[in-house]
Amino acid sequence: MYIVKKTFEFSAAHQLELSYQSACTNLHGHNWTVTVECRSKKLDQNGMVVDFSHIKRHIIERLDHKVLNHVLDINPTAENIARWICNEIPHCYRVDVEESQDNMASYINDDYDRGEE
């Protein structure tokens, strides 16, 4: 099994829809740190699981310096952003999204082991 990890940052704002009072329901921004993990039993014709630059570029082009509520059809919590990123990247099975140094959410695609390579 081949595994690649790519960590990168982007800046974006979001406003959470919550069922309780919170400062996070106000528009605010973060310098997000994302770690994407991809794996495959086979390498592509270039000898890669997925090109590191393709991982970063695909996400940066969509999310960097944006209001996430305007580009994602989800409540843009760190958990939902992690799942969204995982679904966007080929061979991705895990994403960690850090919105600040002490606050991180992870998404692991449990379906990944059920047949995808």
Domain 2-113 grouped into CATH 3.30.479.10: yes
Which of 85, 104, 81, 101 is closest to 93 using CA atoms?
85
Residue 111 has pLDDT above 80, yes or no: no
What are the sequence ranges of the domains in the chain? 2-113
For residue 113, the model assigns a pLDDT of 58
Residue 26 has pLDDT above 90, yes or no: yes
- 3-state SS, one letter per residue, for 39-67: EECCCCCCCCCCCHHHHHHHHHHHHCCEE
For residue 110, the model assigns a pLDDT of 84
For residue 112, the model assigns a pLDDT of 61
Q: What is the mean pLDDT of residues 54-63?
A: 96
Whether the model pTM is above 0.85: yes
For residue 50, the model assigns a pLDDT of 96
Residue 8 to residue 24: CA distance in whole angstroms: 23
